[in-house]
Structure 1
Amino acid sequence: MSRLKELKSHLKRGTVYRRKHLDQWSKSVDRDLKVLINDGTLQKIAPGMYYYPSLSAFGPAPAKEEEVIKKYLDDSRFLLISPNLYNRLGVGTTQLYNTRIVYNNKRHGEVTFGNRKFSFQRKPRFPSKITTEFLAVDLVNNLDKLAEDSDLILEKLAEKLASLNMKSLKQSISSYGSVKAKRIFASLLRETDYEHGHRLSS
């Protein structure tokens, strides 16, 4: 078996590879990679990162975002999020953003994979999955980056708080909220408690 066939025999469709993962099967990995890219076997999606496309009825399928990010970080611990998710909260955000944000423990900066752009943000803590309560906290963390009126968003968020899981919300504030966000939520929760108490006493 030739060295090139040896390398190809280890490739699995739908898989993203780092160069360092491939040099175990080739003594001339850079030369072999060039051949495999030129003949369409592999797609180069970023420096040192390659994709062996899976096939669908419509042709080669793009790499899954989660798979690309996992290989880039060499870590499965990350959270992929978009500001567009804030629109689910119903607090006045309506803009659509192209930004895809990756909270992680390792890397920080803007990265492009193929034609997709990601903003990697290093965070000490983030949840394993997105909840409504975490979204509310993340929104307030990023309030100054949004195009909408901040005061109007906070006014609507105050009305929304009563429908959230308060235990989960307070846990998310404590674990993931910035200093500014914690201050904002403390004020919003005081107002919510006051309104609730006022209704009970009237």
Structure 2
Amino acid sequence: MKILAPQAYLTYIAGMTKLDQLKRHLKPGQAYRRADLARWSTAVDRHLKQLVESGTLKKLSGGLYVVPKETVFGPAPASDKDVVCAFLKDDPFLLASPNAYNSLGVGTTQLYDKTVVYNHKRHGEFQLGNRKYVFRVKPRFPKSLTPEFLLVDLVNNVDQLAEAKEEVLERVQKRAASTDRRRLRRAVREYGNERTKKFFNRALGANELHAG
């Protein structure tokens, strides 16, 4: 790659159109809000229209765009993490899915076409591009999914699953017995709703649940 001298670089930049200068900031696979792009444009709405028409940007929803990333298989969508990060303006969040329960070995096998986003400020279902996200406001959630959190989260949401509720809960009780109980107790205290706390209180024993 040829490196231009400072003066030559300034001349090169001056010769670029405002649209070209905006495009220099865009990274393939990255999601952007209109407000992000407005930092680099004095005519952001006109530039957005041009970039969408040219295929440089793809509109996901009102005020949210993504730069398609080309692969040998065609354009690749932005990651869930990048899309949600732009949508929430970098607020803390945790990506989850009922599909993750299938890794616990408690009899759940269904696949769901939604991504759950635990966060502190948005609630409801949002269609961002061709994907559906269910945003749920929670006061607390871990930085990443753990087996203990997933067990608690499953019991919190067991009524929404397609499997037989009682059979799943019976397997969860057995799974709890082989899980790191200290971590599970902590997850129950921090993330369980009242019904979930009562369930694990019976599963682990009242004294054990409140120990440590």
TM-score where L is the length of structure 1: 0.90
What does 1:8-87 correspond to in 2, within 5 Å? 8-87=23-102
User: What's 1:189 paired with?
Assistant: 204
Partner of 2:19: 4
Equivalent residues in 2 for 1:33-182 (5 A)?
33-182=48-197
Gaps of 5+ in 1: 194-202
Match of 2:200, as an amino acid? F
Aligned length: 192
Q: How far has the Cα of 1:10 moved from its partner?
A: 2.0
- 1:76 CA drift (Å): 4.8
Unaligned runs of 5+ in 2: 1-15
Q: 1:64, CA displacement in angstroms?
A: 0.9
Residue identity matched to 2:151: A
Comparing 126-135 with 8-17, greater Cα deviation is found at 8-17
Over the matched positions of the two proteins, sequence identity in percent amounts to 49
User: Contact conserved, 2:60 with 2:129, CA < 8 A, in 1?
Assistant: yes
Q: CA deviation at 1:94?
A: 1.9
Q: How far 1:177 moved relative to its partner?
A: 0.3
Q: What secondary structure, in the 3-state scheme, does the structure 1 residue paired with 2:109 have?
A: coil
Question: What value does the CA root-mean-square deviation take over the aligned residues?
Answer: 1.5
Which consecutive segments of 4 or more residues in structure 1 shift more than 6 A?
none
